[in-house]
Amino acid sequence: MAYVIKRYSNRKLYDTQESRYVTLEEIEEMIRTGREISVVDAASGEDLTSVTLTQIILENERTRRASLPAAFLHQLIKHGESWQDFVQKSMRASLEGMVSSQRDMERIFRDWSMRAGWGAIGAAAPSATEPRRDGATDDADKLREEVTALRDRLRSLEERLQKRKAESK
């Protein structure tokens, strides 16, 4: 279940689970720790999640913690929705493939560790994709693993973009 953050007309953000006001930086940290966030307008109930996440990305750009190449941003604006759809579909496919590969790798490592006689590794640390012994799935661990995988993929994409940027100079 997503954490619901209410955005008020004065632009304040209120975490309904923790009953406190939060900043964009705190929302960013929540996402980094694996929480799914949903931001809604307090008065109308309109979903503002995408706008808020975009704002977090732009704040990071402004403070130079992350850098999107200007050429990419120009193309995104120039080609509008068709380009945005393409980028979204491409990133979604890449991230899904990466998560799938990570799960395959975990399964292979468990099999390998069992063959190597390290059976306790597989038994002591169930995978995020396996159900717990009590039958409940561990959604939090699964989300943490997926977020870690997504971070790694984003770092890889950033590195590739930086290399292309350097090559084009």
Residue 119: predicted pLDDT? 64
Phi and psi torsions of 119, nearest 5°: -55, -30
pLDDT tens track of the chain, all 169 residues? 688 999 998 889 999 998 999 999 999 999 888 889 999 999 999 999 988 988 888 887 777 665 667 787 777 777 777 777 777 788 888 888 888 888 889 888 888 888 877 764 544 444 444 444 444 456 667 777 888 888 888 888 888 878 877 787 6
Place of tokens 């561990």: 138
pLDDT of 1 reads 67
Question: For residue 40, what pLDDT is reported?
Answer: 95
Q: Which residues are CB-neighbours of 21 under 8 A, at least 6 positions away?
A: 12, 13, 14, 15
Q: Is 145 helix (H, G, I), strand (E, B) or coil?
A: helix
Distance CA 142, CA 33 (A): 12
How is residue 125 annotated by DSSP?
A: S
pLDDT at 169: 67
| Contact indicator for 40, 48 with CB cutoff of 8 Å | yes
Strand residue runs (E) in the chain: 3-7, 13-15, 20-22, 37-41
Sequence length of the chain is 169
Instruction: Supply the pLDDT for residue 64.
Output: 67
Tokens matching residue 34: 């694996």
